[in-house]
């Protein structure tokens, strides 16, 4: 597969390692009253779409950036690649 890195251009998927659903960015707030069940869902519950999937890839053999890749799991077509850091910030994550 070819992943179009937003800064470096097209790279072979072999340069990356795959983590999983980009939902992992949305880590719950530990102070929440329902933190235990929120963390449980965060850790264990996943959609398993036959279709577009937003997922995390780590450019381990490159610039060591984490990327959010939107990929169709049935055709492997990749429709977008973003820096995970940008996605995290857009979801209000900070320190």
Q: Could you list the residues that contact another protein (CB under 8 A)? A: 1-2, 13, 17, 19, 24-25, 27-28, 30-31, 35-36, 39-40, 42-43, 56, 58, 60, 64-66, 74-78, 83-85, 87-89, 93-95
CA quadruple 42, 43, 44, 50: dihedral sign: positive
| Smallest gap from residue 47 Cβ to another protein (A) | 18
Comparison of 48 and 75: residue with beta carbon closer to another protein: 75
Decide the pairing of beta strands 17-21 and 52-58: antiparallel
| Smallest gap from residue 24 Cβ to another protein (A) | 7
| Smallest gap from residue 28 Cβ to another protein (A) | 8
CA distance to 3, 27, 84, per residue, from 13 (Å)? 6, 26, 16
Q: Which residues contact 38 (CB under 8 A, 6 or more apart)?
A: 28, 29, 32
Comparison of 46 and 89: residue with beta carbon closer to another protein: 89
């Amino acid at each position: 597969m070819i992943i179009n890195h937003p800064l470096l251009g097209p790279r072979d998927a072999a340069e990356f390692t795959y983590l999983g659903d980009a939902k992992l960015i949305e880590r719950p707030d530990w102070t929440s009253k329902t933190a235990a069940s929120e963390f449980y869902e965060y850790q264990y519950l996943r959609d398993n779409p036959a279709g577009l999937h937003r997922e995390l890839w780590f450019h381990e053999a490159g610039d060591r950036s984490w990327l959010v890749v939107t990929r169709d799991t049935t055709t492997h077509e990749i429709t977008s690649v973003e820096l995970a850091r940008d996605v995290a910030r857009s979801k209000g994550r900070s320190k």
